[in-house]
Structure 1
Amino acid sequence: MRPRSLVFTLFGDYFRYCGDGEAPLRGLSDVLQLFEVEPATTRVVMSRLRAEGWFETRRDGRLTTYVLSPKAWQLLDEGRERIFRHVSGEWDGQWTLIATRASDRSARDEVRKQLTWLGFGQLQPAIWVAPGDRMAAARDLMETNGVSSDVFLSRSGDLDHDRSIAARGWDLDALDALYGRFVAQHDSPVDGGTHDDALVARVRLTDDYRRFPFTDPDLPADLLPAGWNAPRAHEVFVRRHDELRPGATSAIERLTGMTVRGAHRAFLDGGAVGFTRER
């Protein structure tokens, strides 16, 4: 796990709920040492993140505290919404199709990343598709990035053809294998561990799981292959995230002297993942 990724995971799960979204550099360094990140490296990473506008700093004597910037709050809010929300519902058979026209390469590259984040798959170099009505989001994205395109709704009228579209638009076999590895790695609780062990395990759990929103479009169940591993992975994540929470939170509070208040908790409802806030 890279130090930069660790910082955002720690702030997303813990430090955003401390004070004004803050962590003392000394305490943060102590936490990161659990992941074999040296204090000197932590100082360099935090200095760079501050220079990039993700954090502001506050000085109390010799104590430096890093505080989330508005830019970082937005990133964490968007990330939490995507990571902790996996839909599971009926599909009406509609597809949103995007046919892009000529544009500069830099705009295309940026649009490609954002379309993937919105759940679109690429059928051909200039053709993108997603299940359901996503026309408003697609048109807004194209207009914002200045990419000429045609956006419309379509139906194939044939479920086998729909499944073929899904198989061509996304590498479902590779994604299913990733979910299977996630289950194998994290569905094995370690008994008798310390609070520090719980923190390390929970951070690694979240860091591994948060990659799925970038690759999983949450396709309707009708379009997925038999034995799809995602529901099992979602169940493992929600259960382990909750089981490890008390010990992990205790470790954070002991190492930093901060109090974690109102942190989010994941839940599973009929195959859909969501989150709520502690009171």
Structure 2
Amino acid sequence: MTTTEAASGAATAIDPAVARLVDHFQARTPIRAWSLIVTVYGDAIVPRGGVLWLGSLIDLLDVFGVAPGLVRTAVSRLTADDWLMRTRVGRKSYYRLSPRGRAAFAEATRRIYFARNEPWDGRFHLAILDDGGEGNRSAVRRSLEEAGFGAVAPTVMIAPSGRTRPEPGLDYILMEGTAVPGGDARRLAERAWPLERIAAGYERFIAQFEPLAEALEERDRLSPLDAVIARILLVHEFRRIILRDPELPAALLPENWPGSRARALSARLYKRLVNGSESWLDRHAFSEDGRLPPPEPAFFERFA
């Protein structure tokens, strides 16, 4: 479905700068509707009561070129996988994030909307994986990676001190290292984490969304429909990168790290888009109680 066709049911034509973002999203095949739905809920619905009528979700995702059947399939999968919960009222279905989904996006929310700025003392946590077989080591390695660790050897992983430490278990030994000089620390970081790949992702994000920022400099605002489309795609694309980024201290990063520019761009755009997008949600998003309630106070602290 082309961008024009995707928007044909809407009363407002999509702005060209926003249409380019939709085209970029549609060009990624296969379209992962379930991932976009998680973004919609975490960014737009959880702060406003957390419940959305399936019809509202179908109407919104139609603008992204996601067919109603694909939306229904995706929400069924998310429900079966315990990411969403369904409530039926008559013939209508309403969905909310499950406790598991809310917990996962609560952590994602911190990483997406709030920069990590803890001081670092130059030391690393050191995790030594036990020799429990490759399958067991892979599971432990994934768990440590989710906690921000990177591998410097098959059975050795590191993370900057000052981070939340995973509970020591039988499958690895956790130790505190001594301070590492700056040059050596950066070389360790380059070895432990795919910083070049992460940086390239940030550069692509900047190239994708800078034209929208430039377009907004030439006009007062976008329509509510354009604003909600742009906001969801902004968060969706930034989320895909930031959740792969270990968010290392600045002392461990290469000079001119693009992650800082990507976050600044995200903050600038989000603030420009939030009022219009909330206006669209006010009129078009419904729960079993009718129109969605206003956002909770914590919502307005995002990208502060």
What's the TM-score once normalised by structure 1's chain length? 0.85
Hey, what's the Cα distance between the residues in 1 that align with 2:91 and 2:244?
A: 43
Q: 1:4 aligns with which of 25, 34, 38?
A: 34
RMSD after superposition: 2.2
Hey, what's the Cα distance between the residues in 2 that align with 1:204 and 1:241?
A: 11
Is this contact kept in 2: 1:133–1:153, CA < 8 A? no
Is this contact kept in 2: 1:98–1:151, CA < 8 A? yes
Mark the CA change 1:69 to 1:216 in structure 2 (over 3 Å): closer, same or farther.
closer
SS in 1 for 2:42: helix
Matching of residue 122 in structure 1 with residue 151 in structure 2 = yes
Hey, what's the Cα distance between the residues in 2 that align with 1:119 and 1:84?
A: 18
Q: Number of paired residues?
A: 262
Structure 2 runs not aligned, ≥5 long = 1-30
Mark the CA change 1:267 to 1:71 in structure 2 (over 3 Å): closer, same or farther.
closer
Determine the structure 1 residue equivalent to 2:202: 179
Matching of residue 23 in structure 1 with residue 52 in structure 2 = yes
Determine the structure 2 residue equivalent to 1:47: 76
Higher percent of residues as strand:
1
Matching of residue 213 in structure 1 with residue 239 in structure 2 = no
Q: 1:110 aligns with which of 135, 139, 164?
A: 139
Hey, what's the Cα distance between the residues in 2 that align with 1:137 and 1:50?
A: 31
Q: Aligned AA for 1:25?
A: L
Mark the CA change 1:245 to 1:157 in structure 2 (over 3 Å): closer, same or farther.
closer
Is this contact kept in 1: 2:130–2:137, CA < 8 A? no
Determine the structure 1 residue equivalent to 2:165: 137
Determine the structure 2 residue equivalent to 1:82: 111
Hey, what's the Cα distance between the residues in 2 that align with 1:157 and 1:5?
A: 39
Q: Aligned AA for 2:48?
A: C
Mark the CA change 1:181 to 1:78 in structure 2 (over 3 Å): closer, same or farther.
same
Determine the structure 1 residue equivalent to 2:89: 60
Determine the structure 2 residue equivalent to 1:154: 177
Matching of residue 261 in structure 1 with residue 290 in structure 2 = no
Shift of 1:133: 4.1
Q: Aligned AA for 1:175?
A: I
Shift of 1:151: 1.6
Q: Aligned AA for 1:83?
A: I
Shift of 1:122: 0.8
Determine the structure 2 residue equivalent to 1:73: 102
SS in 2 for 1:5: helix
Q: Aligned AA for 1:137?
A: R
Shift of 1:156: 5.0
Give structure 1 regions of 4+ aligned residues with deviation exceeding 3 angstroms: 104-107, 190-193, 265-268
Shift of 1:114: 2.5
What's the TM-score once normalised by structure 2's chain length? 0.78
Shift of 1:89: 4.0
Hey, what's the Cα distance between the residues in 2 that align with 1:246 and 1:106?
A: 49
Structure 1 runs not aligned, ≥5 long = 269-274
Worse-matched range after superposition: 250-259 or 196-205: 250-259
SS in 2 for 1:14: helix
Mark the CA change 1:76 to 1:267 in structure 2 (over 3 Å): closer, same or farther.
closer
Matching of residue 166 in structure 1 with residue 153 in structure 2 = no
